[in-house]
């Protein structure tokens, strides 16, 4: 059903990805995606994970806005989501838990500290500061497509390595309301399976998946079909 669902409220939203690889920023103004830039395009550091200072500055310039014009900030992660599951998993790792804790807890915490330092420097006065929204990672993926689309009703699917702990997310949207239907969680991840295939091909996982994707159409799908089919099980 095609029908514009955008509200008439005038609003400038700054979207940020600073937790995951390929940090980036975007601006959505009055329901229209104005600009989106990955930090690596400006710093020339491939798949950079540094806070997107340059992207933010470039997006505001392209959108002809200042920090004072921003009404809301949307961050593509919800820090509190599924923490119990993460702690439970770490407890079962025994001796190898240290690297997991560093990646899933220490690393995000350092990046949140960088974000809030930038935020308080940018808006010293709380009265004029924009509202910050931490959005579930997969919901952010879905919302990034749905809210700037012309569709009133949509089926939504997000497949990733993982977000907070969710790896595949199925949802639906009607009249701007997004709801979750079903989720798959770590370690059952099609994205991580893709990373394993990338490493098998001799590339760097969580980095060179684009090369695997680019080469896939040139290969012979039958060669490893049976082996791969035995590794993946689709359940309802």
Write out pLDDT tens, residues 186-230: 989 999 999 999 999 999 998 999 999 999 899 898 998 999 899
Across residues 18-28, what is the average pLDDT? 94
Q: What is the pTM of this model?
A: 0.86
Task: Select which of 5, 21, 120, 133 is catalytic.
Answer: 21
Q: How many CB atoms sit inside 10 A of residue 1's CB?
A: 8
120 is catalytic: no
Q: Classify each residue of 201-230 as buried b or exposed e, where b means 16 or more C-beta atoms within 10 Å of its C-beta.
A: eebebeebbeebeeeeeeeeeeeeeeeeee
Which pLDDT tens digit goes with each residue over 27-78?
999 988 999 999 999 999 999 999 999 999 999 999 999 999 999 999 999 9
Q: How far apart are CA 136 and CA 57, in angstroms?
A: 25
Contacts of 145 (CB under 8 A, 6+ apart): 156
């Amino acid at each position: 059903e095609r029908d514009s669902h955008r509200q008439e409220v005038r609003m400038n939203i700054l979207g940020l990805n600073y937790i995951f690889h390929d940090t980036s920023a975007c601006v959505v103004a009055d329901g229209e995606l104005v600009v989106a830039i990955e930090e690596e395009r400006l710093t020339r550091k491939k798949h950079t994970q540094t806070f997107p200072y340059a992207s933010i500055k470039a997006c505001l310039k392209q959108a002809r806005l200042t920090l004072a014009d921003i009404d809301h900030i949307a961050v593509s992660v919800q820090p509190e989501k599924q923490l119990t599951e993460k702690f439970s998993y770490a407890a079962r790792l025994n001796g190898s838990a240290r690297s997991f804790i560093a990646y899933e807890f220490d690393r995000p915490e350092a990046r949140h500290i960088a974000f809030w330092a930038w935020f308080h420097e940018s808006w010293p006065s709380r009265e004029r500061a924009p509202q910050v929204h931490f959005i579930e990672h997969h919901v952010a993926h879905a919302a990034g497509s749905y809210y700037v689309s012309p569709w009133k009703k949509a089926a939504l699917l997000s497949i990733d390595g993982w977000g907070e702990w969710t790896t595949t997310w199925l949802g639906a949207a009607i009249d701007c309301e997004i709801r979750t239907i079903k989720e798959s969680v770590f370690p059952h991840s099609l994205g991580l399976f893709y990373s394993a295939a990338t490493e098998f091909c001799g590339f760097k996982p969580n980095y060179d998946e684009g090369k695997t994707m680019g080469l896939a159409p040139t290969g012979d799908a039958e060669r490893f079909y049976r082996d791969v089919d035995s590794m993946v099980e689709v359940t309802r």
